[in-house]
Structure 1
């Protein structure tokens, strides 16, 4: 560890978080950034905080943490169908560790480069380790995917697979044993999530509503149902899981990890049944698994159904920071 006492927070910002930015009139270094938005576009804005000991282990690899701390925010833009443009970072550090900061900044900028987003400002302060990103993206006026758009008769879809990150965390916490290869695969889903930005953009004219799965499928789909004043029936047997997680079906934590584990950062969306072929074509084009897992109904509530169409009762719920 290489800890130093730099002359000021502004030195730290200049050294680690100042790089040329696109579509920016004025970036890092002034009281505010000045951003150039496109004609006929709306600005989508999201803020998310990661706190050591709550969202990540204090000894987490800084490069991976840099990627993840930005990627989880980009997932919110993906859920709106927005194109990422700009980000600000407010980071709180217990002390200045040059080696840690260099690796963290590298992770941030790798993610930013991959998704075409520019870091345009933020803040640094001293205290317990945490980082707060605010991300901004553009979406054509009237085309944003929202939580309040689901309609009775819609098909419920989910991208990718569920439960990988939750099982990786369970392994880290000593609740199950995985082979080195399986742990490496699932660990990538936990530490380096892939925001489904291209999928969100492709769904603008195909889906009625969308949300990213950060707190678990049941909790996040529940937000769509609440905001849209509808209900849903999900086919338990159609929930998409990876081969590794499928082989863990007998584990006591299987349902909790798959349905409520969180950290999936996949998209759950609803779309008219007539759009099934078009959505399947999107998945094929992106090389991304898209699975129809149920349907929206006018009857309130979220119901899990077995292979015979009978309701299943499971005692699982999504993550809540303030749940007792």
Structure 2
């Protein structure tokens, strides 16, 4: 099967590639055309997943299709953007019809959940690699960024942490667990739910935000650097699931929450006055620390002792 036949058969014909709100022209020309309402800005982000680095060689293609789009769409959530569309650059070692069909179905499933349209991309031969570029829209001047945290703000997260890191030994077949424990961890790894609605709800309220991909400590470091402040986290405030605690024990569950990565949960800073209204609206917000004068990120126990671990999160290029 040739490149263009592959695109037409598996991707251009998918329901998510039939256009939608904000898509003036989709697959078929040299470029897609996106239409933005007056007074809105375009948010753009790119993520690449590589076999053997981000997922195992024997990964289920349907689950991989879901995951590959979800992790990219999470960047739109972090900016408070409303999703519009995405492109897919797909590098394949061969053209297995069964693999392509299942991958396209998983991709379409997540695209429908995120209300996003596939508008283009590229295919080539090589080691399996998946690159998504996502597009969203946000009212001018209202995008959430990493640079607005101020001393006195609360440090918050939008849900439980560490589940994907806990799932990794299961994904790699290094450990087994009872279905009641394994199922929620694996679901978080393979089908993360980008917190798009929460990101939009935080517009005009959160002072800074990002999504957690490399671990809470590492990613909070980006806020601390961009905002020129210190983030002081409390160990006992970390939200970890019962499944993760059952699988790893409480202390290792907390370590996974701090350094494991792949959560795709929002971390953000918030003036204290904004918290009650958001909680009353039902958002799953957990306060895990406070912004202070200074620099960097630190972890403290209930007695106030600094217990920051040496390894703070995942890095692709580590000395």
TM-score normalised over the length of structure 1: 0.93
Alpha-carbon separation, structure 1, partners of 2:245 and 2:136: 36
Give 1:11's aligned residue. Answer: 5
Superposed CA deviations along residues 218-243 of structure 1, whole A, max 9, x for unmatched, are 01111011111100111110100001
Instruction: Give the 3-state SS of the residue equivalent to 2:8 in structure 1.
Output: helix
State the shift of 1:251 in Å. Answer: 6.9
CA contact (8 A) 1:206 1:279 kept: no
Please give the per-residue CA displacement for 1:27-52, whole angstroms capped at 9, x wherever unaligned.
11111111111110000000000001
Q: Give the Å deviation of 1:159.
A: 1.1
Distance in 2 (alpha carbons) for counterparts of 1:137 and 1:241:
30
Residues in 1 aligned to 2:61 and 2:287: alpha-carbon distance in whole angstroms: 36
Q: 2:287 aligns with which of 288, 292, 295?
A: 292
Cα separation, partners in 2 of 1:27 and 1:173, compared to 1, 3 Å? closer
SS at match of 2:204: coil
2-structure distance, mates of 1:51, 1:248: 27
Return 206-215 or 298-307, whichever deviates more.
Answer: 298-307
The whole-number CA distance in structure 2 between the counterparts of 1:314 and 1:249 is 18
CA distance in 1, matches of 2:171, 2:94: 27
Distance 1:251 1:198, change over 3 A: closer
Q: In 2, distance between residues paired with 1:200 and 1:223?
A: 18
Q: Which residue of 1 aligns with 2:18?
A: 20
> Which residues of 2 match residues 72-221 of structure 1 at below 5 A?
72-173=71-172, 176-221=175-220
In the alignment, what sits opposite 1:318? 313
Superposed CA offset, 1:274-295 (max 9, x none): 111022124x1xxx52101110
Change (3 A) 1:249 1:99: closer
Where in structure 2 are there 5+ consecutive unaligned residues? none
Residue aligning to 1:307: 302
Tell me the TM-score normalised to structure 2 length: 0.94
Show structure 1 runs of 5+ residues with no match.
Answer: 1-5
- Distance in 2 (CA, whole Å) between partners of 1:151 and 1:307 is 23
Give the root-mean-square deviation of aligned CA atoms. Answer: 1.5
* Preserved contact between residue 259 and residue 316 of structure 1 (Cα < 8 Å): no
The more displaced of 213-222 and 314-323 is 314-323
